[in-house]
């Protein structure tokens, strides 16, 4: 409420009194939680500079900075700041583009909801969400003020779903594309979801043929991206959910029982479960470990100590399991060089 009047006044002033000029593209990049000081989304950052080379010469890029604190109130404050920035510097006839990473995507979603509430003349042409923690209630996109939503996610990103508290994909809609990505034939982790390779493709994504619920884009650091139809999307999402449920069960077991018993039980069950999660599909594999009992015994002991209280579940998840996604081999085979 405390920002609503300011937003309305700024929008009205900009709409009726701004100096005449030709419409332009305005791109805004929104960082995620605890990433206010990150470089990737700011001038000089790898993602920012790559995007700058790929958009029209007269287009504008702006970095959206908010507190980065992990709560709804600060995300809403960031949304209000974003709207006021648009009302101050943009015209309603401009093409407005948003790129968000992690909870920065939800800052953008809240801003679009606020624009819809006041029936603003400002509408977003395209929103590119990179690994958003999707809540289909609080952060469901308001499509009346959003023309296109391109949602990028990776099954190697164990942070995005936060133990299945959030979803990976938005609900089906004609103007929403849920796109799985790989990077150099691996499933990227949360931090790699704003890799500059993705920035190269975003400005031309609307010109490509995509499947709303079954698009899979393979990005590479040394060649053009490759797009294909993902015929196993539904199965992947189900396996992803089962994987997380298993991890929660294993962690709870370690909390409950003595360390050595937990190590033995966890290693055995984990190995059996992982064996089930290695389909021959060229697109997907969770893990590919061998000799888990010997190679990972030390890790499992450390895991027990972490979960017993030395570290929080969230820090364990982000540090240890992200390390695994970085190191594991992907089952994807090389693709032909036909690019976008």
Reading the chain (340 residues) residue by residue, the pLDDT tens digits are 555 655 655 555 555 445 567 789 999 999 999 999 999 999 999 999 999 999 999 999 999 999 999 999 999 999 999 999 999 999 999 999 999 999 999 999 999 999 999 999 999 999 999 999 999 888 999 999 999 999 999 988 888 988 778 999 999 999 999 999 999 988 898 999 999 999 999 999 999 989 999 999 999 999 999 999 999 899 888 888 877 776 666 656 555 555 555 555 555 555 444 444 333 332 223 333 333 344 444 555 555 444 444 434 444 444 444 444 444 334 343 333 334 4
Residues 225 and 240 in one domain: no
Residues 112 and 245 both lie in one domain: no
Q: Give CA–CA dist 19/1, Å, rounded.
A: 29
* Burial zone of 19 (CB within 10 Å; 0-12 exposed, 13-18 middle, 19+ buried): exposed
Residue 238 and residue 158 in one domain: no
Q: By three-state DSSP, how is residue 163 classified?
A: coil
The pTM score is 0.75
**Domain boundary, last residue among 204, 230, 256:** 230
Q: What is the span of the domain harbouring residue 168? A: 4-230
Q: Which residues pair with 97 in a beta bridge?
A: 27, 126
- 224 shares its domain with 238: no
Q: Same domain, yes or no, for 238 and 217?
A: no
The CATH code of the domain that includes 188 is 3.40.50.1820
Query: 169 and 144, same structural domain?
Result: yes
For residues 179 and 72, membership in a common domain is answered with yes
| Count: domains in the chain | 2
Domain boundary residue among 195, 230, 265? 230
Strands 176-183 and 226-229: unpaired
- Evaluate whether residue 132 is within a structural domain: yes
Whole-number Å distance between alpha carbons of 233 and 178? 10
For 247, counting Cβ atoms within 10 Å of its Cβ (0-12 exposed, 13-18 middle, 19+ buried), the class is: middle
Question: Is residue 86 helix, strand or coil?
Answer: helix
Q: Kindly provide the b/e burial profile for residues 132-146, where b requires at least 16 CB atoms within 10 angstroms of the residue's own CB.
A: bbbeeeebebbbebb
Angle between helices 259-276 and 297-305 (to 10 degrees): 120
| 224 and 243 share one domain | no
Say how far apart CA 73 and CA 79 lie, in whole Å: 10
- The two tokens of residue 293 are 């009992």
Asked whether residue 219 is domain-assigned, the answer is yes
Strand extents, DSSP E, 2-108: 25-30, 60-64, 95-101
């Amino acid at each position: 409420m405390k920002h609503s009047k300011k937003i309305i006044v700024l929008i009205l002033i900009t709409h009726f009194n701004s100096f005449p000029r030709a419409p332009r593209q305005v791109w805004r990049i929104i960082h995620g939680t605890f990433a206010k000081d990150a470089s990737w989304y700011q001038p000089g950052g790898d993602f920012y500079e790559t995007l700058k080379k790929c958009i029209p010469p007269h287009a504008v890029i702006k970095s959206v900075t908010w507190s980065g604190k992990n709560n709804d109130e600060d995300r809403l404050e960031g949304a209000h700041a974003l709207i006021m920035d648009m009302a101050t510097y943009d015209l309603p006839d401009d093409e407005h583009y948003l790129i968000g990473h992690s909870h920065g995507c939800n800052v953008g979603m809240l801003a679009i909801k606020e624009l819809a509430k006041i029936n603003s003349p400002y509408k977003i042409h395209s929103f590119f969400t990179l690994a958003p923690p999707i809540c289909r209630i609080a952060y469901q996109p308001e499509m009346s003020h959003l023309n296109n939503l391109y949602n990028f996610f990776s099954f190697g990103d164990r942070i995005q779903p936060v133990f299945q508290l959030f979803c990976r994909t938005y609900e089906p809609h004609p103007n929403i594309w849920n796109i799985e990505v790989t990077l150099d034939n691996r499933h990227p982790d949360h931090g790699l979801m704003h890799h500059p390779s993705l920035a190269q493709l975003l400005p031309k994504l609307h010109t490509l043929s995509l499947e709303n619920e079954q698009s899979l884009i393979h990005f590479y650091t040394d060649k053009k991206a490759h797009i294909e139809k993902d015929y196993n999307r539904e199965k992947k999402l189900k396996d992803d959910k089962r994987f997380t449920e298993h991890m929660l069960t294993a962690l709870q077991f370690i909390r409950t029982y003595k360390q050595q018993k937990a190590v033995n039980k966890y290693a055995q069950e984990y190995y059996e479960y992982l064996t089930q999660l290695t389909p021959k599909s060229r697109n997907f594999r969770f893990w590919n470990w061998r000799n888990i009992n010997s190679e990972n015994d030390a890790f499992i002991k450390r895991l027990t100590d972490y979960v017993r209280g030395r570290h929080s579940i969230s820090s364990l998840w982000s540090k240890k399991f992200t390390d695994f996604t970085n190191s594991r081999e992907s089952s994807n085979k090389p693709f032909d060089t036909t690019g976008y």
